[in-house]
Amino acid sequence: MSVHRFRQRENTPATFLEKESEPPKLSDRAFDNLRFIRETMERSTAFTAVSGYGGALMGATAIGAAIIASQQTSTKYWLITWLAEAVLALAIGVLAMWQKAKIIDAKLFSTPTRKFALGFAPPIFAGIALTIVFYKHNLNDLLPTVWLLIYGAAVMTGGMFSVKPIPIMGAMILSLGVISAISPPEYGNILMALGFGVLQIIFGVIIGRKFGG
């Protein structure tokens, strides 16, 4: 009887040590830390300097351009109106990104920026080439379709390296390009006002509120 009790006492410390050596389970705090690390890594590889409010301003000027362009009786001045809007939008976009990069203390010229530019630029250059060709061959009625498709594709491909709402916006603009392809030519200005204007204002406000400007 005493021998049996002695053996139980000998086994007790070993059992206690075995329990102590078991690895602890991850707590909720540990999961929160892992989530924070993952989000930080995602931000470090994403182009976050896209300005939502700058995009909203670009949308507002696009609506103005659509109104002015719809009043033009000459194809030449209609095209000039939209080309002027493209230059203005580019200037607004670059300045807004530069300003946001300063505010959030991010490098404007970084690896995510280069990835964004490499995804965004090729469709835009293709759009410029197609604009010249279509204008020379008097295919101006197709330009709204080309511009919406090209810009939508550029925003989608560049947006893959940026915040999540951007590629969604690109897909919606591209969809308007598809609608433009099967719509009468007189709907071109309206569809561009929706794609370049309304959608950019909506998504610009979303990005501005959710991603710091």
Whole-angstrom distance, CA of residue 140 vs CA of residue 146: 10
Whole-angstrom distance, CA of residue 157 vs CA of residue 118: 9
Whole-angstrom distance, CA of residue 117 vs CA of residue 96: 16
Tell me, yes or no, whether 171 lies in a domain.
Answer: yes
Tell me, yes or no, whether 3 lies in a domain.
Answer: no
Count how many domains the chain has.
1
Residue with tokens 């990835």, as numbered in its chain: 115
Asked if residue 156 lies in contact with residue 149, where contact means CB atoms within 8 angstroms, the answer is: no
Tell me, yes or no, whether 71 lies in a domain.
Answer: yes
pLDDT higher than 80, residue 18: no
Three-state DSSP at 208 gives helix
Q: What backbone torsions phi and psi does residue 162 show, to the nearest 5 degrees?
A: -130, -160
Tell me, yes or no, whether 52 lies in a domain.
Answer: yes
Q: The domain containing residue 194 runs over which residues?
A: 40-210
Nearest to 90 by CA among 57, 68, 123, 119: 57
- How does pLDDT run across 102-146, given as a tens digit for each residue? 776 766 677 777 888 888 899 999 999 999 999 999 999 999 999
Tell me, yes or no, whether 25 lies in a domain.
Answer: no
Tell me, yes or no, whether 22 lies in a domain.
Answer: no
The mean pLDDT value of the chain amounts to 82
The predicted pLDDT at position 179 comes to 97
Q: What backbone torsions phi and psi does residue 24 show, to the nearest 5 degrees?
A: -70, 150
Around 192, how many Cα atoms within 13 Å sit in the side-chain half-sphere?
33
Tell me, yes or no, whether 10 lies in a domain.
Answer: no
Asked if residue 147 lies in contact with residue 79, where contact means CB atoms within 8 angstroms, the answer is: no
Whole-angstrom distance, CA of residue 185 vs CA of residue 173: 17
Tell me, yes or no, whether 18 lies in a domain.
Answer: no
Token digits of residue 193: 């006002």
- How does pLDDT run across 68-105, given as a tens digit for each residue? 999 999 999 999 999 999 999 999 988 988 887 777 67
pLDDT higher than 60, residue 20: no
